[in-house]
Structure 1
Amino acid sequence: MEQQHSPNPSTPLLDQVPTPEALRTLQPAQLRQLADELREEMIATVGHTGGHLGSGLGVVELTVALHYVFNTPEDRLIWDVGHQAYPHKILTGRRDRIRTLRQGGGLSGFTKRSESEYDPFGTAHSSTSISAAIGFAMANKIKGEPGRGIAVIGDGAMSAGMAYEAMNNAQAAGNRLVVILNDNDMSIAPPVGGLSGYLARLVSSGQFLGLRDLARKFGRHLPRPLQMAAKKTDEFARGMAMGGTLFEELGFYYVGPIDGHDLDALVPVLENVRDAAEGPILIHVVTQKGKGYAPAEQAADKYHGVQKFNVVTGEQAKAPAGPPSYTSVFAKALLAEAETDPTICAITAAMPTGTGLDKFAQAYPDRLFDVGIAEQHAVTFAAGMAAQGMRPFCAIYSTFLQRAYDQVVHDVALQNLPVRFAIDRAGLVGADGATHAGSFDVTYLASLPNMVVMAAADEAELVHMTHTAARHDSSPIAFRYPRGNGVGVALPETPQLLEIGKGRVVREGSKVAILSLGTRLGEALKAADQLDARGLSTTVADLRFVKPLDDDLIRRLIATHEVVVTIEEGSIGGLGAHVLTMASDEGLTDTGLKIRTMRLPDIFQDHDKPDAQYDEAGLNAPHIVDTVLKALRHNSAGIEDGLLALGTAV
């Protein structure tokens, strides 16, 4: 009979377990009920708040078992990425705030050190957990303090090279390091009923490990060839039975695969690992995304991240009708380019849907490459294709492109290869918060020789920039665009080829000039209306390019306006810094011109609604007006002070 779900489930046992300490007082026979109640609580929570659903449902039993067996928070439990940690948050003293997930002032959608002692390491980018766990384990080992490092990492995150770099460095941590490979998609080696659970318990048992250790000691007295043969026989036998030879070669004792939803199998294995002298140990656990909630089980991709939804029916709340998203506009524009250009291909790092490239994959499966969570490889792979005459579009979120910065510098910019970077999620991103904000890409790209950097002010501009990037073969080129829907402008039937380094004047004035980069253009135009109403004639320019700058346009606006304000959705070091440097180099500020730069503040902003985030950042229309008025008052005060000083001298 299918489980019935409720937006307000009955959870009598979970109500008695506010912390892992209370959890560890339960009897093993009670854990199944606790897991069922925890799953219902999570479904009800995400139905109310929206957020990541499938991944958390898949680790409910694993979460219960880990906190039951290990001594958290002394044993440092690290959830790779952290989007599956909602059940963990419920069990670690945060249940009373769980329905504030991803809301302004509420709980983060990922693990966060400042939120709880049970979150020893902040995560949201993948494949970092093993490195951090080794760090915790080695620190405790050096200090002679108890406590393990326990990393829970998904099979997708294991596609990143950093995970293997860490495992290659793990042996020194010994039995203080435990890695849980949560295999919920690729099914590296699926479990085979009760036999796999029995084998996992057997090879993790103290008796087996003791016998194996005795055999090793005995083997040391054998001739070298026989020692090596015995070692290979042991590895081969367990590798054939369960997989894991690769992990053995990296220095791990491999246990698994084991059914990650079978608490009767999980708990004994974890207890054996906890008490083992052998180490480091990797436990291969197979789980199902969306486990226990039929809609999520049947459509794991659709229910990975969700809007608020009806818990009973699974129906997600629909966003109000409006303009298309920037992501979909880019995807459609790239498809149009690929129709007439067989050299265009697309590369994504495990985000085909998030970047809109799933549509490209359907139309041109031979020209779409999903390289897994491997941004470094994605960029250098694109560089190789560009060097061989292809036109690769590397579509990566701004925050994830940071992970491949050396490759952008060394493999692309230094060699002046025409890789096209489509940078999604530029600027602030709302509920995902600081870990996913696209704050730094303009700064870290525009500082590079050979690089062209554009920012779309609206969805029509994004179409033009996609076309321009497709035609640009002389250097690397990047264009950025935000999360969410466009502003509603009509999409062009025929895209324009933009002249590199040339902006456009959207509104002509005479006293104040606002130089905008990206989608703050709408707020700049609102500010211009308010300034005009005060008698301050205002020009608004969409610069389009931060590199190369439109020097001629900027010179003209500086020469003909009293105040110039730059505004952008990025950190210090971006447009404002480039305009100031150009003006300084050319002596354009010597006349007393006032230049003011508006940018994201020098902080990591917490999650909230995007409008609230930009208001906090001081980048909305009222803030632009205030910046202009303060600059003009400063000018007036300076003139008055100068006249007063002159009169006194006379």
Structure 2
Amino acid sequence: MLWHRGEETVKGFKLKQLKNILSPQDLKNLSEAELQNLTGELRHRILETVSKNGGHLASNLGIVETTLAIHRVFNNPDDQIVFDVGHQCYAHKLLTGRQQEFDTLRQWNGISGFTNRKESEKDAFGAGHSGTSISAALGLAMANQLDNKDNYVIAVVGDGSFTNGMIYEALNNCNKKNLRLIIILNDNEMSISENVGGLSNYLSKIRNSQNYFNLKHQTQSLLHRIPLVGEGLIEGTRKFKKHLKKRVVAENFFEHLGLDYLGPVDGCDLKKLESVLGEAKSKTSCCLVHVHTVKGKGYLDAEEHPEMYHSSGPFDQAKGIEKKESENNFSAAFGKIMVEAANTNASICAITAAMTGGTGLDKFSQTHPERFYDVGIAEEHAVTFAAGLSANGKTPVCAIYSTFVQRVYDQLIHDAAIQKLPLIMALDRCGLVPGDGITHQGIYDCSYLSSIPGMEIFSPETYDEMRQSFKQSFENKNLAVIRYPKGAQQQYDRSGFIHDGDLSYQDFSEAGKDSEQPEIVILTYGRITKNAYEAIQLLKANNPIRLIKLVKVYPLQLEKIRSLIGQPKLFYVLEEGIRSGGIGEKLAAAIAQDDHLKPGKIRIHAIENPLMEQGDLPALYDYCGFLPAQIADEIIGILGNK
């Protein structure tokens, strides 16, 4: 059942079953034909919604049958389901009472694109980052055991997450008896970027053992049919089965950890899935079920190009996502800068954590493959590996999304800063990030990274500033962060800015007023500079205003800032990051100790409540009070000019 470009979207099923599914209990008595129809409806609804709102399509299309099987075999929410990352939970949401809200997926005041405990009791554990599921599921299962509950906990983990070290820390602790924990390895042979390393090769080898698994089930089915002696024959074949398994399948890594292992099983065969999950329930210890699914199943373009549909914006179903020859955004600009720099500097290496395309390093991986390292979803390893490259004279650039850099704070201090090793961190998706919600905001990095000894932080607003930031960092050979937002540089008139090294400024005043003595000084950095600029236009320069834009935000450029501030009525810091520990607070503390700087009022406008849900950028700006009109109104209110 495939949806082809330009053809009718719905083929081979009727839109009649899904509307009657109000809870997982409604799935229990459906016929095989009804279930088959339901898989088509689920894929249709997921495709319709993601094509309009954006989201994670390929993995969700692939896991439909597996999700149905889980809900038919187990009793959610009494039996708890934990999805790793949470991005493959769309069918789960549709089957657990969220059909009416599903059209609001990833929208402001809508439902999350990930599991969310606040959203439903059927979401046992929230997620957004990789590798947390088995640890959380183990905790839930142990709590059940302590409370003498016989409920099951099911962790659903994609194969990409098996490149994350936390998965193995958890597996190492799962060898407990009478633990009702079942791990489903959703193996679709691809994570965000192409799976890398020995673990991917290992799973590929296990997949080839499916003949053994099929033979086992066929044999058991045959023996069960023999009257009187069938059960005895089954027991008698167990030793032979173990011998056969060793001959057909290489010794299994998971079994060495003390887990029961079942699989691989066809993740599109609902009947077989239910049979295997039923067998997993009978185990007396933690069991891992290896399920083989197809990313993008049911939508031809997603099957052929799953990497393009891992996480996408809205698209035309009939045409699919059209791959552009060149993108005009910060990620693409970074990729171009890296290729050009590596062409003339043989020491430059690029490292990413399963985000080759997302970070813009795909061209670098093609032009300099010997100096490109995709380490999988292993951010901690990526940074210490980069530090090792640096220790032996290389110039490593580690490209990671801001939200995932939260995982490498220890490595940056222990392995880079303490040893004074030059290392450049390219932080993508900084500031407010639309769509993915609370777990993916890039608003913390300036606060915690500025506490690391020797750290330099650049926040370019334009591609030219980005290029200069990298050039300076390559030359200085320091520990540096270059942070930039998702999307393209903002478009507005920058011609009035006066550039002074790592900052620039522009004065706005009425004719005849002395712009050397501004009454209002607004200091900001990064993408939100445009909002400050537009707010000044709304103020109509009733007071002389100076706008200062930092490119290098830390260490603080106190001498330059001191010379530009003077003694205004208001010193206003606008920051698209959290207030606590941010650049604004650091500046305010420095000013308080400086006898030469005595502005009348100091105000910091930063993010006070960082735990915000998903939405587009205008909605997030509105929530934070970052729209130009909101900024202008606040400044007027502070000065009492209403």
Fold shared per TM-score above 0.5? yes
Q: Distance in 2 between matches of 1:307 and 1:608?
A: 13
Q: State the Cα deviation string for residues 547-606 of structure 1 (Å, max 9, x = none).
A: 1111112222343422111111111211111101211232456x4631111111223111
Give the aligned partner of residue 506 of structure 1: 506
Match of 2:331 among 316, 327, 333: 327
Pair 1:399-2:403 in alignment: yes
Q: Distance in 1 between matches of 2:418 and 2:635?
A: 40
Letter in 1 for 2:474: A
| C-alpha contact 1:191 1:286 (8 A) present in aligned 2 | no
Match of 1:83 among 78, 82, 87: 87
Q: Distance in 2 between matches of 1:211 and 1:350?
A: 49
Pair 1:197-2:214 in alignment: yes
The 5-angstrom pairing of residues 411-450 of structure 1 reads 411-450=415-454
The structure-2 alpha-carbon separation of the partners of 1:293 and 1:537, relative to structure 1 and needing over 3 Å to count, comes to same
Q: State the Cα deviation string for residues 205-257 of structure 1 (Å, max 9, x = none).
A: 999xx999999xx9xxxxxxxxxxx9xx9877535534562111212111111
> Which SS does the other structure have where 2:566 is aligned?
helix
Give the aligned partner of residue 245 of structure 1: 252
Q: Distance in 1 between matches of 2:223 and 2:260?
A: 13
Pair 1:172-2:180 in alignment: no
What is the aligned length? 606
Give the aligned partner of residue 306 of structure 1: 312
Q: Distance in 2 between matches of 1:201 and 1:51?
A: 40
The 5-angstrom pairing of residues 245-264 of structure 1 reads 245-264=252-271
Structure 2 gaps, min length 5: 190-199, 225-230, 509-514
Give the aligned partner of residue 281 of structure 1: 287
| C-alpha contact 1:148 1:177 (8 A) present in aligned 2 | yes
Q: State the Cα deviation string for residues 354-375 of structure 1 (Å, max 9, x = none).
A: 0001111011011110000000
Match of 1:580 among 583, 588, 592: 588
Q: Distance in 2 between matches of 1:498 and 1:212?
A: 85
Give the aligned partner of residue 618 of structure 1: 625
Q: Distance in 2 between matches of 1:85 and 1:201?
A: 32
Match of 2:274 among 224, 245, 267: 267
Deviates more, 1:388-397 or 1:522-531: 522-531
How big is the shift at 1:129?
A: 0.5
Letter in 2 for 1:56: N
The structure-2 alpha-carbon separation of the partners of 1:602 and 1:49, relative to structure 1 and needing over 3 Å to count, comes to closer
Give the aligned partner of residue 27 of structure 2: 23
How big is the shift at 1:49?
A: 2.5
Q: Distance in 2 between matches of 1:429 and 1:243?
A: 45
Q: Distance in 1 between matches of 2:564 and 2:222?
A: 76
Give the share of equivalent positions with the same residue, in percent: 38
The structure-2 alpha-carbon separation of the partners of 1:323 and 1:630, relative to structure 1 and needing over 3 Å to count, comes to farther
Match of 1:468 among 469, 472, 488: 472
Letter in 1 for 2:292: V
> Which SS does the other structure have where 1:258 is aligned?
strand
The structure-2 alpha-carbon separation of the partners of 1:601 and 1:476, relative to structure 1 and needing over 3 Å to count, comes to same
Pair 1:129-2:133 in alignment: yes
Deviates more, 1:293-302 or 1:155-164: 293-302
Give the aligned partner of residue 486 of structure 2: 483
Q: Distance in 2 between matches of 1:568 and 1:322?
A: 31
How big is the shift at 1:87?
A: 1.0
Letter in 1 for 2:376: G
How big is the shift at 1:44?
A: 2.4
Pair 1:608-2:625 in alignment: no
| C-alpha contact 1:322 1:488 (8 A) present in aligned 2 | no
How big is the shift at 1:317?
A: 8.0
Q: Distance in 1 between matches of 2:297 and 2:20?
A: 24
Q: State the Cα deviation string for residues 504-563 of structure 1 (Å, max 9, x = none).
A: 2233641111111211111122222333x2521111111222211111122223434221
Give the aligned partner of residue 302 of structure 2: 296
Pair 1:119-2:123 in alignment: yes
Letter in 1 for 2:148: G
Q: Distance in 1 between matches of 2:71 and 2:46?
A: 17
| C-alpha contact 1:102 1:608 (8 A) present in aligned 2 | yes
Q: Distance in 2 between matches of 1:245 and 1:548?
A: 51
Q: Distance in 2 between matches of 1:34 and 1:345?
A: 48
Structure 1 gaps, min length 5: 219-229, 492-496, 638-650
Pair 1:45-2:62 in alignment: no
| C-alpha contact 1:454 1:479 (8 A) present in aligned 2 | yes
Letter in 2 for 1:199: K
> Which SS does the other structure have where 2:577 is aligned?
coil
The 5-angstrom pairing of residues 550-565 of structure 1 reads 550-565=557-572
Give the aligned partner of residue 520 of structure 1: 528
Q: TM-score, normalised by structure 1?
A: 0.87
Give the aligned partner of residue 645 of structure 1: none
> Which SS does the other structure have where 2:75 is aligned?
coil
> Which SS does the other structure have where 1:306 is aligned?
coil
Letter in 1 for 2:397: F
The structure-2 alpha-carbon separation of the partners of 1:581 and 1:262, relative to structure 1 and needing over 3 Å to count, comes to same
Q: Distance in 2 between matches of 1:212 and 1:575?
A: 73
> Which SS does the other structure have where 2:383 is aligned?
helix
| C-alpha contact 1:327 1:355 (8 A) present in aligned 2 | yes
| C-alpha contact 2:446 2:582 (8 A) present in aligned 1 | yes
